[in-house]
Amino acid sequence: MVAEKATDKGFASNKTQRIWDWFLIAGFITLSIVSCIVKQNFEIVSFAAGLCSILCVIFGAKGRMENFIFGFLGSILNGYIYLHAEIYGSAALYLLYNLPMQFIGFFQWKKRQQGDGTATIKTRWMNNKQRLLTAISSIALIAVIYLILQTTNGNLPVMDAVRTGIMIVTQFVLTFAFIEQWFLWLLLNSATITMWIIATIRGEQYAVIMMIQSLFFLLNSIRGVIVWIKLNKK
């Protein structure tokens, strides 16, 4: 009887997760189509970048290796979009940092697989010293990147520096499977949404779909916190 209840609970949890995954995918596609109809223009690059990124974070929230396949494709496409928008810090982040980190992350996660046939990984919490170091590193990176961006004619240097600095740290935390990455993603996605709202007001070509994409990332970050804590208990 106990085993049956555990099986039923696991099935219900998987079903809920599948519903959530399809909600993210269908929601992104639907809002992207509506945006294209309103603008009377379909941006294939931003749509493909958004779809790859959505799939990347879905698999990432599950702690699955497929995360890095879509992360690789999404890094290339998003790098191009940020270059086009002249947001140079984020462009460099995707092409010079996120892209190679997909390979490092893949091999690090490979070492931490559960070994139960689910292809999920063992997650872990940071200690207080690691959390303090993460906070200091984030602040220092934001300051350095802002000073560098001041020497360019790029758009939104403050938001770009905040986003780029936090993402560098977050990608590193993700690579080593720390649960705290999801709290950083919450902060990062909030900053990204703000940045693309400003870009939308300024009339940037890819801004609307990128803003929609970031909104779904924010929702998935909440889901990621819940799932990774459960993986840690498992």
Pick from 29-33, 50-54, 206-210 the range whose average pLDDT is largest: 50-54
Give the pTM. Answer: 0.70
34-67 residue pLDDT tens:
777 776 667 788 888 888 988 888 888 887 888 8
Number of domains the chain is built from: 1
Query: DSSP assignment of 83-116, as one string?
Result: HHTT-HHHHHIIIIIIHHHHHHHHHHHHHTB-SS
Helix axes 44-61, 2-39, angle to 10 degrees: 170
**pLDDT over threshold 90, residue 97:** no
Would you give the distance in Å from CA 13 to the centre of its chain? 23
What domain range is 79 assigned to?
Answer: 2-233
How many other C-beta atoms are found inside a 10 Å radius of the C-beta of residue 43?
Answer: 19
Q: Which pLDDT belongs to residue 117?
A: 52
Give the model confidence (pLDDT) of 161-184 as tens digits: 888 888 889 888 988 889 999 999
Taking a C-beta distance cutoff of 8 angstroms, is the pair 209, 35 a contact? yes
